[in-house]
Each structure stands twice: as C-alpha cells, then as structure tokens.
Amino acid sequence: MTLPDWAIHALGPPPEASDTARRVDALHAAVISTAFAGIGIVAIVTLYFVVRYRRRGPGEITPRVVASGRREWTTAALVLGLFISFWLVGYAQYLDIERPPDHAALVYVTAKQWMWKFGYPNGHASTDTLFVRERTPVHLVMTSRDVIHSFYAPGFRIKQDVLPGRWVSAWLDAAPAGSYPIYCAELCGVSHSRMRGEVRVLDAADYERWWHDGRDQDDMVLRGKSVAAQSGCLSCHTIDGQRHIGPSFAGLYRSTVTLDDGRTVLADEAYLTRSMMEPLADRVAGFNPVMPAYRNVLSAEEVGALVEMIRSLDHPAPPRVTLPSLEVTKLDGGTP
C-alpha cells in the first residue's frame, strides 16, 4: 500500500538526502515496527486470557497459572537480544555520524542571530546557503557568535548543537543534486523560527562554475599567513619546523600530539581551532602555558584562514578537498 504524498509529509520523516539518512530511517522503522508488533501481541494475549480465564459462575475459583522457568528465561533472553541488536546497529550508526570521512570537503560554519554563515577553503563565503558538490560528503566545523544554535538538516538526519566559544564538528553524507532545508533547532531568540537555510547540492558543472567564480583557492592560505603575522602567532610559532616558544605549525596538521597530562590527540581542524580559542584546555607537553586565548579576538573567517594555512604546511595526508577535475591540489602544499 502506498500512502498519498500529503500523508507521507504529515506522518513520515522528510525525504532522504543521503545513505546516512536511509540507514537511520531503516533502524527507526525496525524499532517502531517491533514496538507495534509487541503491542499487538500483548493486546491479543490479554484478550485471550480475559476470555479463557473469565469467571463462569458464582463461587468459581480462577485456576493458578504458573509459567515454566525455562519459558520465562527464553522470553527474557529473546527480548534482551532484540534490544542489544538495536543498540549495536545504532551505535555503529552513531560512530559513522560522529566521524567525517577523510575525503570530505571542509566548510566552516558560523551561526549568529539569526543566520548561518559558511566559509569555504577557496575563500568563498555564503550566508544561509551551503554550497555542496553532488555526491561529495561535507565536513562542517561550526561555532556560534552569540547564543546556542542547532544546525538541523532533516534530509540528512543530522542535528548538531552549535556553541559559542567552542568548535564542534558534523558532516553531511554525499547527496544527489538538489536543495535540502536547514533549520535552527534551538530556541535562540525572537527570530529563531526564521533562522533557516538551505543545502544546495550542485552538479559537477555548476559546482565548478561556483568554485571558480571569484577568488582563487590559494587566497585562504595567504590570508592565514597575514592573519598569523598580524595576530602575533608567528612570534611564538614557526612555519619551518623550528622549535620556539610554542610548537611549530609545520607538519602539525593531522599529526599526533602528546599533551602535558599524558593524553594524545590528533591535530585535526577541531583541535587546532580549540587550541586557538582555549590554549590551556589541551596543552602540548613540553611547552609553557603562556598562550593567550583568542576567543572573541579572531573572527571565524580568520580562524578558518589560520587552519587552512597550517594545513598547507607540509602534511603527509592527501588533500582534504579532492575535486580531481578542479585545480585545488595546491591545498596540500605540493606533497601528494
């Protein structure tokens, strides 16, 4: 039986934009239908018992019914096994949703009352419209300028709180060309309901046009270098690998860093941005805690430029933005 369109829109989840959305929906359907089947079985058994064991005459005593221990244990084990299987599938999906793939394109997102701002590695910026190449996953590194917002792209089944003074990460799975809505899912002020945007997935030709329309992709790296010079980063951090007051930027990106409390972390975009905002939170072992916090000092675009600049300084990993037909290979500093 196929439901009419209006019923699907009223009752069902919005159309699926990605494989992640399809997997989430499949688990959701399995859990919901199992729950309804359980309700149905309990209702039927209840009705049967009501009829079967009803009192037939005055003075009749209801027989005592005792289930065998083995049957009870089997039922409990089956139900437990069912819930554990839901959990296993759900946990695998959760890990997928938490980990952006390495080849995802990177976009910096700044939420503010009441708009979404997007910054791209080629120096482009857009407001409320996130431009994406078709069938390409997108890694979003997000922060807020003011209050808590929540990035909600229902077609992708992704909802992530966006917090002031902190950088959080999310990713959108590859989608076919089209337009998918973005909402803010956290009450953030009087125009919260109007804080809407759109994921615009462009086909290869349109995306190439958009990508090249405007500034060159090297701009972001150059800008990062001038921001680093103006903001004083280069007084303590070198860009040639030499040890100074702070760790060198060269070779830092995607390296494993040992912190002074013994933990090791991967120096990815989220770590680099957090280290600028809150340098004392994750301190690298062997350096004095002298770096000031740059929260509210650097704009989101400046932070994005700095991260791009650090990424450009000789890292062994392949470039994160892989668009073979487009000339973006300079992003990895020339090492394939």
Is 295 a binding residue for ligand CUA by CB under 6 A? The answer is no
Site residues (CB under 6 A) for ligand CUA, limited to 69-128:
114
Stretch that binds ligand CUA, among 20-28, 180-188, 243-251, 252-260 (CB under 6 A): 180-188
Give every strand in the sheet of 115-119, ordered side by side. Answer: 125-127, 115-119, 105-112, 138-144, 168-172
* Binding track over 144-173 against ligand CUA, x by CB under 6 A: -----x------------------------
Q: According to the binding rule CB under 6 A, does residue 252 interact with ligand CUA?
A: no
**What span, in angstroms and rounded, lies between the C-alpha atoms of 331 and 318?**
9
Least CB distance to ligand CUA at residue 124 (A) = 23
**Is-contact 203 163, C-beta < 8 A?**
no
**What does the block give as tokens for 125?**
């910026």
Nearer to ligand CUA, 27 or 115 (CB): 115
Residue 85 C-beta: closest distance to ligand CUA, Å: 36
Alpha carbon distances (Å) from 64 to 42, 53, 59, 61: 20, 10, 15, 9
Which of 86-89's residues contact partners 24+ apart within 8 Å by CB, and which partners? 86/27, 86/30, 86/31, 86/34, 89/27, 89/30
Taking CB under 6 A as the rule, does residue 311 contact ligand CUA? no
C-alpha to C-alpha distance for 217 and 104, rounded to whole angstroms: 17
Residue 303 interacting with ligand CUA (CB under 6 A): no
Cβ proximity to ligand CUA: between 149 and 320 the closer is 149
Residues in contact with ligand CUA, counted by CB under 6 A, come to a total of 8
Compute the least distance from the CB of residue 196 to ligand CUA, in Å: 10
Give the whole-angstrom CA distance, residue 129 versus residue 115. Answer: 10
Of the two residues 186 and 269, which places its CB atom closer to ligand CUA in the complex? 186
User: Is residue 188 part of the contact set for ligand CUA (CB under 6 A)?
Assistant: yes
DSSP 234: G
192 lies in the binding site for ligand CUA (CB under 6 A): yes
CA–chain centroid gap for 66, Å, is: 51
Residues within the interface to ligand CUA (CB under 6 A):
114, 149, 184, 186-188, 192, 195
